[in-house]
Amino acid sequence: MQVWKFGGTSVGKPERMKSIQQLVTSDDEQKIVVLSALSGTTNSLLMIGEAAKKNEDIAAEKHVNELFTHYETFVSELFTTKEGLKKGNAIIENEFNHIRSLTTIKPFTIKHDKMLVAQGELLSTQIFAAYLVEQKISSVLLPALEFMRIDADNEPILSEIEYRLKELLAFHEDKKIIVTQGFICRNPRGEVDNLKRGGSDYTASLIGAAVRAKEIQIWTDIDGMHNNDPRIVKRTFPVRELTFEEAAELAYFGAKILHPSTINPAKLRDIPVRLKNTMEPSAPGTVISKTQTSSAGIKAISAKDNVTAIYIHSTRMLNAYGFLRKVFEIFEKFKTPVDMITTSEVSVAVTIDNNENLDKISKMLGQIADLEESDQDQSIICIVGSFLADKPNIAIRVLEAMKDIPIRMISYGASEHNMSLLVDSKDKNAALEALNEGLFTFE
Ligand code: ADP
Ligand code: ASP
Ligand code: MG
């Protein structure tokens, strides 16, 4: 069994959906196919939700109508038979009736917003499943809301996902393609919820781990993980192999190609993750696994934005123990993860990416230490690879490349495969470009 996930651009046009059908049926292996919403749909639904929240009924209706027209055209170009088209139209009529009724609920709460945003994946999967039926492919649509579960901390519950999926899959052993929704899930209150933006990657990995798949494939619009952010840096190239640790680090620190948590379930069950390009299926992509054959050295760079640096000073820290524990207990109390940390004898600097409780955290920290004003709009630049062999050189090469760009924090040595720098976000693009030129060689 394999799990293949297709992102928004991979299903965003009728001809792409047709080529996905060809891809998933190109061999006889049973597959769970996880789909995102068609590209642009999630953003549109969020916009509709915004309008509904503000009671802007006319604006909400206008956006809904525009989206409906898009789906009408999509369906008319996808299906090839009269019955198929009838089924496609029935699906979108039904879904858009539901979308319309959601947007008229007052007051329109977060709960309704989450139900609304889930419609993107519900639409794409129903349309694709109907297309597979039209093409006479042995297939079934398995609703993710019946098995994807998160806990009160919004963490997926793998054990529950596993037993629910096992029970459901037992009814469909004869089916070649099992289609399901990425992104969406239910929370402990039984409400529709989601795994946050880009969450379909995470769904695929969770399902892969749950069914102990042979491989998890993430199909997108680029040939694998590149050595740097191709949206920002001019010359990038695909990295053919990454370890779980390297890929997890890159995803967590901003490589948009993967949702930040994607690698964890796959790593837990030692299942290789392959990143593939839907537009160019024969391209090798990137394999993420436990071991690697490629040589050591710097592999890739990523950057994470919206980071805040907090500077904590304590004269009492001199020769003191227990101070760091007290500091971290405060972050724990407010369920705020710390990403980077650097220390001197009397000072600690940490970064967080969630400012929701910054005021409360600062107030409590202020009771045990002196605080300098925190810096917002910072970016963590993460340099990833296997540094063991090249250890003496890595830091020098990084700092040399960064010589014209102010660095706020440096974290190095915690593992053999990561070095992180904190820079002001306005310097991020220049830093990524400078590191690209300084650390990689190009043919
Ligand atoms: P999907 O809709 O298939 O989930 P995403 O847009 O979420 O696709 O992710 C793919 C995009 O991630 C690429 O088009 C690329 O612009 C961006 N990206 C950012 N960093 C990287 C990287 N290091 N390697 C490859 N793609 C990256
Ligand atoms: N459709 C969701 C999003 O746009 C999930 C995903 O595409 O992975 O964030
Ligand atoms: Mg994505």
Among 220, 254, 269, residue at a domain's last position: 220
The CATH code of the domain that includes 101 is 3.40.1160.10
Residue 263 lies in a domain: no
Check whether residue 71 and residue 201 sit in a common domain: yes
Q: Is any ligand 2 atom within 6 A of the Cβ of residue 260? A: no
* Confidence bin at 414 (pLDDT 50/70/90): confident
Say if residue 317 is in the same domain as residue 206.
no
Atom 5 of ligand 2, residue of closest alpha carbon: 198
Tens digit of pLDDT for each residue in 318-352? Answer: 557 788 899 999 999 999 999 999 998 788 999 99
pLDDT at 389: 65
Distance CA 41, CA 200 (A): 14
Q: State which of 119, 183, 206, 257 you would mutate to test the pocket of ligand 2, scoring each by most atoms of that ligand within 8 A of its C-beta.
A: 183
Residues 39 and 180 grouped into a single domain: yes
- Span 56-106, pLDDT tens digits: 999 999 999 999 999 999 999 999 999 999 999 999 999 999 999 999 999
Best substitution site from 197, 221, 275 to test ligand 2's pocket, by max atoms within 8 Å of Cβ? 197
Q: Which atom of ligand 2 is nearest to the CA of 36?
A: 7
pLDDT tens digit sequence for 226-259? 999 999 999 999 999 999 999 999 999 999 999 9
Q: pLDDT tens digits for 100-131?
A: 999 999 999 999 999 999 999 999 999 999 99
User: What is the CATH classification number for the domain harbouring 359?
Assistant: 3.30.2130.10
Q: What is residue 219's DSSP assignment? A: E
User: What is the rounded average pLDDT of the residues 388-417?
Assistant: 88
Q: Domain residues for 340?
A: 300-439
How many structural domains does the chain have? Answer: 2
In whole angstroms, give the CA distance from residue 202 to residue 205.
5
13 class by beta-carbon count within 10 Å (0-12 exposed, 13-18 middle, 19+ buried): middle
Domain boundary among 167, 195, 220: 220
The position carrying tokens 């948009």 is 256
Final residue of a domain: which of 170, 199, 220? 220
For residues 194 and 338, state if they share a domain.
no
- Mark whether 211 and 319 lie in a shared domain: no
pLDDT at 291: 83
pLDDT at position 45 over 80: yes
The Cα 2–Cα 320 span in angstroms is 53
Asked if residue 156 lies in contact with residue 204, where contact means CB atoms within 8 angstroms, the answer is no
Could you tell me whether strands 139-141 and 177-181 are parallel, antiparallel, or unpaired per DSSP bridges?
A: parallel
Please indicate, yes or no, if residue 215 is contained in any of the structural domains.
yes
